[in-house]
Amino acid sequence: MQQRNRAAYMISPKKIEMRELPMPTAKPGEVILKVEYVGVCGSDVHFFETGVRKGKPFPLPFILGHECAGTVTEVGDGVKSIKVGERVCFEPQITCGKCVYCRSGHYNMCPDVVFPSTPPYDGMLRDYVAIPAENAYKLPDEVSTKEGALIEPLAVGLSAAEKGEVTVGKTVVILGAGCIGLVTMMACKAMGASRVIMSDLYPKRLANALRLGADVVINAAEEDAIQRVMELTGGEGADVVFEVASNPVTAAQTVDMVRRCGIVVMVGNINEKTPYRFMDLMYREGQIRTIYRYCNNFNTALQAVASGRIDIKGIISHEFDFSNVQDAFDESMNNRQNVIKAVIKL
């Protein structure tokens, strides 16, 4: 049987074309992944829409997609951890393994990281691709391949919740109820938070937040979110506040929502300057922390899904066939309020 290797190439902003690539072969230490599901990430949609990364146009054509899972079809020399036929998900941070950050366990800080789907590194929207075996995580039987493709965004939510030191009994505020806000909420609940309060401007998103496990939602278009958080916390503020909306306004509000000795975690990507009243944070001896992607938590994410603690497939709102990849991106770009997560089946 002749194998085809279809690839979805972004050829210009907002335009994707199907092409064919030669079949890859596994070098030592690599495996060949038959990609079966790819989730569309917010960063993919940004690149698709603008053709720009960090203010500069990136070289085209280009392959998007980094949230993926599939089946291993070939293993290279020296690979012992994975066998042909096993289902795996892919951690898209390919790092040097030698620098001070890699060696101290902070490999998300590796200056030489290759992150497929971040230009100039082609992503995963293709049938077959060679990946390092160490970036492939075996899926437990309880985790479907489709769910496997969502381990990557879940790792972001877990990373945020870990940074916020969320534990049993904590009250948490999450500003922004898009996909990353929702996975952060799921992670906080799984880690024991007793109350997760989510705020957003769109009723549809808030309805999703409630359906997926948020305890209280605030429509910030209609009510004063700060006042509401204070009412809900007896005037104290929340133990942990997550900024996920990527907005200078919500970022500035975090100081008014966090309790004394509380923690603010910046999750959203905010490029604009943000006015912040640091003195008010100091009066509370509050802390601001940031996250960059995630590190060392794919197995945690897999176990959380396998055990049923996190029902990650709940975030899938749209599914597309590989031949309709253009539609998947158009819909994700044009219908942001309703698309939580689009998944493409190859």
Residues 6+ apart with CB under 8 A from 150: 39, 67, 312, 313, 315, 316, 341, 343
For the bound state, the minimum distance from the C-beta of residue 43 to Zn ion, rounded and expressed in Å, comes to: 6
Query: Using CB under 5 A, which of 110, 166, 245, 312 touches Zn ion?
Result: 110
For the bound state, the minimum distance from the C-beta of residue 181 to Zn ion, rounded and expressed in Å, comes to: 14
Crossing angle (nearest 10°) for helices 248-257 and 225-232: 30
**Residue closer to Zn ion, measured from CB, 38 or 257:** 38
For the bound state, the minimum distance from the C-beta of residue 118 to Zn ion, rounded and expressed in Å, comes to: 10
Choose the binding region for Zn ion from 61-69, 159-167, 189-197, 306-314 (rule: CB under 5 A). Answer: 61-69
Question: What are the distances in angstroms from CA 210 to CA 2, 68, 165?
Answer: 48, 27, 23
**Residue closer to Zn ion, measured from CB, 110 or 139:** 110
Burial class of residue 114, CB neighbours in 10 A (0-12, 13-18, 19+): middle
Q: Within a 13 Å sphere around the CA of 241, how many CA atoms are in the beta-carbon half?
A: 30
**Residue closer to Zn ion, measured from CB, 110 or 143:** 110
The verdict on 281 binding Zn ion (CB under 5 A) reads no
Choose the binding region for Zn ion from 105-113, 209-217, 270-278, 293-301 (rule: CB under 5 A). Answer: 105-113
Query: Using CB under 5 A, which of 99, 114, 130, 201 touches Zn ion?
Result: 99
The verdict on 102 binding Zn ion (CB under 5 A) reads yes
- Binding mask 227-256 vs Zn ion (x if CB under 5 A, - otherwise)? ------------------------------
Which token pair is 327? Answer: 């539609």
The verdict on 41 binding Zn ion (CB under 5 A) reads yes
d(Cα 108, Cα 232) in Å, to the nearest integer?
A: 36
d(Cα 34, Cα 20) in Å, to the nearest integer?
A: 15
Phi and psi at residue 331, in whole multiples of 5°? -65, -45
For the bound state, the minimum distance from the C-beta of residue 342 to Zn ion, rounded and expressed in Å, comes to: 12
Choose the binding region for Zn ion from 11-19, 100-108, 140-148, 208-216 (rule: CB under 5 A). Answer: 100-108
For the bound state, the minimum distance from the C-beta of residue 47 to Zn ion, rounded and expressed in Å, comes to: 12
Choose the binding region for Zn ion from 97-105, 119-127, 193-201, 261-269 (rule: CB under 5 A). Answer: 97-105
Provide long-range contacts, Cβ within 8 A and 24+ apart, for 321-329: 321/345, 322/6, 322/8, 322/125, 322/346, 323/18, 325/8, 325/16, 325/18, 325/125, 326/15, 326/16, 328/40, 329/14, 329/16, 329/40, 329/44, 329/45, 329/48, 329/64
For the bound state, the minimum distance from the C-beta of residue 180 to Zn ion, rounded and expressed in Å, comes to: 8
The verdict on 109 binding Zn ion (CB under 5 A) reads no
Query: Using CB under 5 A, which of 8, 26, 63, 95 touches Zn ion?
Result: 95
**Residue closer to Zn ion, measured from CB, 75 or 328:** 328
Coil, helix or strand for 163? helix
d(Cα 64, Cα 286) in Å, to the nearest integer?
A: 39
d(Cα 165, Cα 193) in Å, to the nearest integer?
A: 10
d(Cα 69, Cα 51) in Å, to the nearest integer?
A: 25
For the bound state, the minimum distance from the C-beta of residue 232 to Zn ion, rounded and expressed in Å, comes to: 31
For the bound state, the minimum distance from the C-beta of residue 179 to Zn ion, rounded and expressed in Å, comes to: 9
The verdict on 114 binding Zn ion (CB under 5 A) reads no
For the bound state, the minimum distance from the C-beta of residue 103 to Zn ion, rounded and expressed in Å, comes to: 8
The residues that touch Zn ion, with contacts defined as CB under 5 A, are 41, 67, 95-96, 99, 102, 110
